[in-house]
Amino acid sequence: MPLTPKFISMAATERYLGLRGRKFINQQRLDLLDEKLADVRKIVTDAGLIHTLIEFDAYQPNVVREFIANLHEAEERDDGVVVYVRGSLIDFSPSLINSLYCIPGFEEDPNWMEEDIDKVCGFLTNGQINRWENMSSKYLTKTNQVLYMLVCSNWIPSMNYTSMNQKHLKFVYMLHHHEGGFDFGKLVYDQIIAMGENTKTKRTRRIMFPTLIQQAIHFQRIIPSDTRNDEFTGLPKLVVKDIKAGRGTGADSSTASLEEDINRTIESLKAIRIRLRRGEYAPYAQT
């Protein structure tokens, strides 16, 4: 029995209070008529993700926050969960997300995280950089700058548009090389579930996928309005090609992050360890 028309429990109410001051990582959309983005459009279409960039509505910040607050206590159903949202139970699952964005079927999910990061860097920079340790956003081709920005806003959200991340780079590489479809729904679902399980992070951490969450709700139910607090945001901004590597017009600036710098150092050390095992450092080759 729900505690109130908005919250499933007192714990959900407390989680909402913790989320109330949080900002959002706003998703971006792609202009189908912009010829400057024709190359980006083709890559995304071939990868099966075009609808994640063109099917957009405004979202209600408080409805999205309520969804996340109740998500931790959602009941399991089939391949996902059912979430309480203003008097209704909303299905939320990888298969629903795939259906919402017309993601094509796939026989086997590509193991894109196993790609060699040095090879990825070389491809995405058109051969300018062939070692992860030397990688910087300024070396990405203009097309891959846009794709990297879309990864950070729409697919694996992060506020660090200019800080290079191995997972983000490998995802862009996968977009170029895998046209057989992949489980986009599971990629997003797992991130949102993790966000719902960890709402006590720093208040500077932003809420991911607000537009997607709103669309998943509206796909199933008309949500009763609380006229006092239910303002809608505007539509997501159009992504553009920009001279600033890894960033688009209007992108928020990111301050230095100790966590990001530590993660980058860890990833660099892992790459060195792999090269040692392969014997790529001649004087230290294993015998």
For residue 96, being part of any structural domain is answered with yes
Domain ranges, residue 92: 10-255
For residue 286, being part of any structural domain is answered with no
Place of tokens 């009941």: 75
In the numeric block, which tokens belong to residue 195?
């966000």
For residue 122, being part of any structural domain is answered with yes
For residue 101, being part of any structural domain is answered with yes
Nearest C-alpha neighbor of 68 from the set 195, 189, 164, 161: 195
Place of tokens 């190359």: 39
For residue 275, being part of any structural domain is answered with no
Please state, in angstroms and rounded to a whole number, the distance separating the CA atoms of residues 60 and 38: 31
Tell me the pLDDT band of 162, cut-offs 50, 70 and 90.
confident
Number of domains forming the structure of the chain? 1
pLDDT digits (tens, 9 = 90+) for 234-253: 778 999 886 554 433 333 33
Instruction: Return the ∠ at Cα 193 (arms to 17 and 200), rounded to 5°.
Output: 35
For residue 274, being part of any structural domain is answered with no
Instruction: Return the ∠ at Cα 283 (arms to 282 and 287), rounded to 5°.
Output: 80
Query: Residue 283: pLDDT above 60?
Result: yes
For residue 264, being part of any structural domain is answered with no
pLDDT digits (tens, 9 = 90+) for 252-267: 334 556 665 676 576 5
Q: 24-28, 83-87, 183-187, 280-284: which has the minimum mean pLDDT? A: 280-284
Q: Is 277 exposed, middle or buried (0-12, 13-18, 19+ CB in 10 A)?
A: exposed
Give this prediction's pTM. Answer: 0.80
Place of tokens 């991130």: 191
